[in-house]
Amino acid sequence: MERGMEDYSLEEMEAELEHERQMKKMLDQSLLGLKITVEDLEKKYQQIDEEGNEWKTRYETQQEMNTQLELQIKDLKEKLKPNHRTNSKNRKDQVPVSVKNMEGLSESGLKGLIKQMEKERSSLQNQLRDLEWRLDQESKALYKASEGRKKYLTELADAEFRLDSYMKLQAKKQAQKENNGINMHKRILPPLPKRVSVNKRNIQENRIPRRFQN
């Protein structure tokens, strides 16, 4: 059977109040720790968000550079095709000046030019491979930053939920404490004496000697 406030002695109530004070002190310390955790998570989230935007910009820039290099390699491959020189005679207005000059070169000059263009193509291919590797690394870094951002968002939401739950619990405990205080006050104070109705006629009759009464 649950005990009511009237069943507790004054010493038990004082012990209960002391226990509540200790619990409040511990909860206040927990609240402070939660606030610090939330602030720290917010700072880390902001940092991760900024890093994520930076990696995203670098990733997009790298993609654009790779596209330009692929176009250059494609153009060089087209120039090195055997029928390219023949087709260029019919489209002189569309052929670059460097390719038009090939018409006046000797066979050895053409071989040297082709060799030079092959070196350029090889160099561009190496650059493309290097840029693709860098793009892959930056893509991984972007993914890592994105995952870190999700992680801190989850931790931040969890910390805010715990903080909100704690505040609700504190409000509930405070309301219960105030209610208990009212009940305790009622128990400690002695009841007021009942008001006695006084009949003035009876008092007067009691004070007057019987022989003088009518």
* pTM: predicted TM-score of the whole model, two decimal places: 0.37
| Cα–Cα distances in angstroms (integers) from residue 210 to residues 2, 185, 198, 199, 204, in the given order | 61, 50, 21, 18, 11
pLDDT of residue 212: 44
pLDDT tens string 65-97: 777 777 877 777 776 665 554 444 444 444 444
Q: Which two tokens stand for residue 62?
A: 């790298």
**Residue 153 or residue 204, greater confidence:** 153
pLDDT tens string 119-146: 888 888 888 888 778 778 877 777 777 7
Sorted by where each starts, the structural domains of the chain and their CATH numbers stand as 8-186 (1.10.287)
pLDDT tens string 22-36: 877 887 787 777 778
Place of tokens 């007057």: 208
CB distance 23 to 103 below 8 Å:
no
Q: Is residue 105 very low, low, confident or very high in pLDDT (cuts 50, 70, 90)?
A: low
153-165: average pLDDT: 79
